[in-house]
Amino acid sequence: MIKNIFRGIRAYSGTFKLISELGLWKYFGIPILISLVTASLIGFAAWGWKDNVANLIDKIWIWEWGSETFHVIGEVLGVVLIVAIGFILYKHIVMALSAPFMSPVSEKIEAHLMGTDLEYRNTTFMGQLWRGIRINVRNLFMELFLSIPILLLSLIPVVNLITTPLLFLVQSYYAGFGNMDYTLERHYGYSESLPFVRKHSGIATGNGIVFMAMLFIPVVGIILVLPLSVTAATTETLRLIHSEKKV
């Protein structure tokens, strides 16, 4: 597992060179726009709703003394909760809507690395979009199912030392899952892709760790996160697919 996580991270090396060599930057225009708009909306929501969340948290503290301090803590926790849920929504919205633009990128990388005489499933723009929505809606509910209890536990002092990295790993896994599916959709049906990613969860997590880390870089991270993460996921997913087909 640990070895595969590092393998997923190492797959990012050489992504800039590969994108430039194949002239793929032009395919990322619309996905980058989707990414910027989605991130902006979530950022405004976090700022605008923090007081509402803080007021709800205030009701837990029934005493007068310390109420102002508790309100400030509530505002901080409100921002953390909204941003954490925002990250979850951001990933799945962007990856679902970007599917028709990312799949051709993945296909061109595969043709470059594996040759053009390959046999795989033919898919259409609408088919890719529907697959992206279906995968990401499913992953969204699974991630929320796991993340909400972790977020609630993170409100407990000391316990949050464990829940914070755990939440990051959960989000990383589903980010990597989405990035891998741009390649998987040409080779496997929906039901076949789920066990494939579970089998290679370390690769997905490693890819997603860098994905999530890049989101903390203002503006630049949001612009580059999809091009780099999709390219890295494609190269590693192709290696896994073709190694399994040889067995």
- Residues contacting 18, CB < 8 A, separation 6+: 24, 109, 112, 231, 235
Determine contact, residues 155/205, Cβ cutoff 8 Å.
no
pTM: 0.84
Residues in the chain predicted with pLDDT less than 50, given as ranges, are 247
Least Cα distance to 98 among 154, 29, 201, 149 occurs for 29
Reduced to 3 DSSP states, what percent helix, strand and coil does the chain have, rounded to the nearest 5? 85, 0, 15
What is the model's pLDDT at position 62? Answer: 62
What is the model's pLDDT at position 71? Answer: 66
Q: CA-to-CA distance for 243 and 201, rounded, in angstroms?
A: 16
Per-residue tokens: 247: 């067995």
Least Cα distance to 236 among 31, 17, 15 occurs for 15
235-to-34, 36, 65, 225 alpha-carbon distances in Å: 24, 25, 58, 16
Domain boundaries, the chain: 2-26+98-246
What is the model's pLDDT at position 213? Answer: 93
Place of tokens 């977020």: 151
